[in-house]
Amino acid sequence: MLHTAPSILCVTDRTLCPEHFLSQISRIAAAGPAGVILREKDLCESAYRALAAQVLSLCRQHQVPCILHTFPSAARALGATALHLPLPLLRAMPKEERAAFSSLGTSCHSVAEALEAQALGATYLLAGHIFDTSCKPGLPGRGLDFLAQVCAAVPLPVYAIGGITAETLPGVRRAGARGACFRSSFMTCPAPASYLHTLERSFSHAISP
């Protein structure tokens, strides 16, 4: 299960990491985010599984949830109980296989997708992309109104993703999100503990409408 007190998820991308990736993951895990999503989409399953074994070990040392991505068989082989799947893969996953994961997430880009994900057994959602972001060039963010609509449509924890900053976190919380995801900033941050504290403080100081 995801941690419920911290509000911030780290999404990995080792290609952005200027230093040793596993060393950075260790520092991030030591900081205590709500979870680490190991999203290395360029890797084949065997390479992903080898990397995931190391990242899982680091996260377990610090009692931080590690959420594997894309490969259910690799997750089961490693004893992982948290998995994030793109919605098409979640659709294709047999119901009995979904039950093997206590934390099962997917990404949604519309209210209809959020409702579908809930029906498929998702336990949390990533909703995005909320603001303009360099990883989605030319595609405008869907905005906080979209995020609020998703949060209102389903009872699941919803985490905002895409272009989120410490300054926009209060708006994310007021929209109803459980928290937010950060990728490049975590991969390049020299002091993850201090950075995470700044993000959590910004999120916690939001004033509900």
CA separation for the pair 29, 26 (Å, rounded): 5
Residue 85, both tokens: 């799947």
One-letter amino acid at 107 equals S
Closest CA to 66 of 118, 97, 99, 22: 22
Contacts of residues 76-83 at CB distance under 8 Å and 24 or more positions apart, as own/partner, are 76/100, 77/49, 78/49, 78/52, 78/53, 80/52, 80/56, 82/1, 82/2, 82/35
Q: For residues 39 and 84, is the Cβ–Cβ distance under 8 A?
A: yes
3 is catalytic: no
CA separation for the pair 26, 58 (Å, rounded): 6
Which phi and psi (to 5°) does residue 104 adopt? -135, 115
The residue from 20, 129, 197, 205 that is catalytic is 129
Give the single-character DSSP code of 40: -
Residue 189, both tokens: 């941050």
Number of residues in the chain? 209
Positions marked catalytic: 129
